[in-house]
Amino acid sequence: MDSTLPTVPNDLAALKSAYAADGWCRIPFRLDAPTVERIRDRVDAISAERRPEVVHEKDSDTVRAIHGCHAFDDLCAALVQHPGLVAVAEALIGGPVYVYQFKVNLKQAHEGAAWPWHQDFSFWNQQDGMKRPDAVNLAVALDPIHEANGPLTVLPGSHRLGLLDLPDPARASGDWRRHVSADLAYTVGTNTVDELARELGTALVTGEAGEIHAFHPSIVHSSTNNTSSDRRALLLITYNAVGNEPEAPTRPDFLVSRDATPVTGTADERIGTLGATLV
Ligand code: SIN
Ligand code: MN
């Protein structure tokens, strides 16, 4: 790790209060261009593999997402240990963390399909048995993200409302494919979203490649189809509080990590430098 690069934001208190109020915030550092390029290359290589972690859009060869890559790819394994990411996750959660989930949602040009309005914690709580929403998503843009390539849209402050519009447990789908497809098993209904959007407003999470945002497990969010000719790859690392591990998860381990070893935020010598710069 190049010691001249500021990898740990020095104003974690400001970040924490923005996150507590709004349920999302921009992280004041970004991955540099060569690092983003290296990750993009890995993502392309993994996407070409036929393995269960690679999920396609409905009835299509288009890759929608790749999952759990930190468990089998050296660069992704190093990324989850990035000292800046780990420091932010620990600050926002308030203690040691481990990696619960890792994915890259690719949202390919013209073909990448929407993510309906939902709360991540409904899946983690109802399907996996995660007790408290003491986790955080860190979302790293691997491509420039703009209004037309399907950015994440959040309802700021909605994370404080608890779980909304949960289906009858007997009717909730336990098929994990419906947890990663455009036909999501747990959604927040249009009426609820309209009402909340009037009250709370909406925010588009756009930005340059390398930029990073945090968002809360209970924030209501969605993203639209990619109608542009630009891919929108978004890499998402979910850190969970040590002590908040689900007891007996049943979904595949590439969706729910069984390895709750705390991440320490040390640079990984297998990989070398993962650069970051302040924004
Ligand atoms: C997206 O990739 O746009 C959706 C991400 C998420 O729902 O967590
Ligand atoms: Mn989500």
Catalogue all structural domains in the chain, each as residue range(s) with its CATH number.
Answer: 12-278 (2.60.120.620)
Q: Kindly state if the Cβ of 223 falls inside 6 Å of ligand 1.
A: yes
Question: Mutation test of ligand 1: which of 43, 105, 219 has the most ligand atoms closer than 8 Å to its C-beta?
Answer: 105
Q: Kindly state if the Cβ of 234 falls inside 6 Å of ligand 1.
A: yes
**CA 223–ligand 1 middle distance (angstroms):** 6
7 contacts 89 by C-beta, under 8 angstroms: no
pTM of this structure: 0.94
104 contacts 39 by C-beta, under 8 angstroms: no
108 contacts 73 by C-beta, under 8 angstroms: no
- Residues of the chain with pLDDT below 50 are 1-6
**CA 60–ligand 1 middle distance (angstroms):** 19
Which atom of ligand 1 is nearest to 120's Cα?
Answer: 8
| Closest Cα to atom 2 of ligand 1 | 105
34 alpha-carbon distance from chain centroid: 21
**CA 272–ligand 2 middle distance (angstroms):** 31
The token duo for 73 is: 């790819």
Q: Kindly state if the Cβ of 152 falls inside 6 Å of ligand 1.
A: yes
Q: CA 46, CA 167: separation in Å to the nearest integer?
A: 34
Q: Kindly state if the Cβ of 115 falls inside 6 Å of ligand 1.
A: yes
The token duo for 197 is: 């959007």
Q: CA 261, CA 239: separation in Å to the nearest integer?
A: 11
Q: CA 107, CA 254: separation in Å to the nearest integer?
A: 19
For residue range 170-207, list pLDDT tens digits in order.
767 788 998 888 888 899 999 999 999 999 999 999 99
**CA 49–ligand 2 middle distance (angstroms):** 24
Q: Kindly state if the Cβ of 154 falls inside 6 Å of ligand 1.
A: no
Q: CA 236, CA 81: separation in Å to the nearest integer?
A: 14
The half-sphere exposure of 127 on its side-chain side, counting CA atoms within 13 A, is 25
Q: CA 143, CA 111: separation in Å to the nearest integer?
A: 16
For residue range 8-45, list pLDDT tens digits in order.
666 889 999 999 999 999 999 899 999 999 999 999 99
Region at 28 (left for phi over 0; alpha for psi -120 to 50; beta for the rest)? alpha
Question: Mutation test of ligand 1: which of 234, 238, 239, 255 has the most ligand atoms closer than 8 Å to its C-beta?
Answer: 234
pLDDT the model gives residue 174: 82
DSSP reduced 3-state for 224: coil
Residue type, 19: Y
pLDDT the model gives residue 140: 98
Q: CA 11, CA 28: separation in Å to the nearest integer?
A: 9
pLDDT the model gives residue 6: 45
Question: Mutation test of ligand 1: which of 223, 224, 231 has the most ligand atoms closer than 8 Å to its C-beta?
Answer: 223
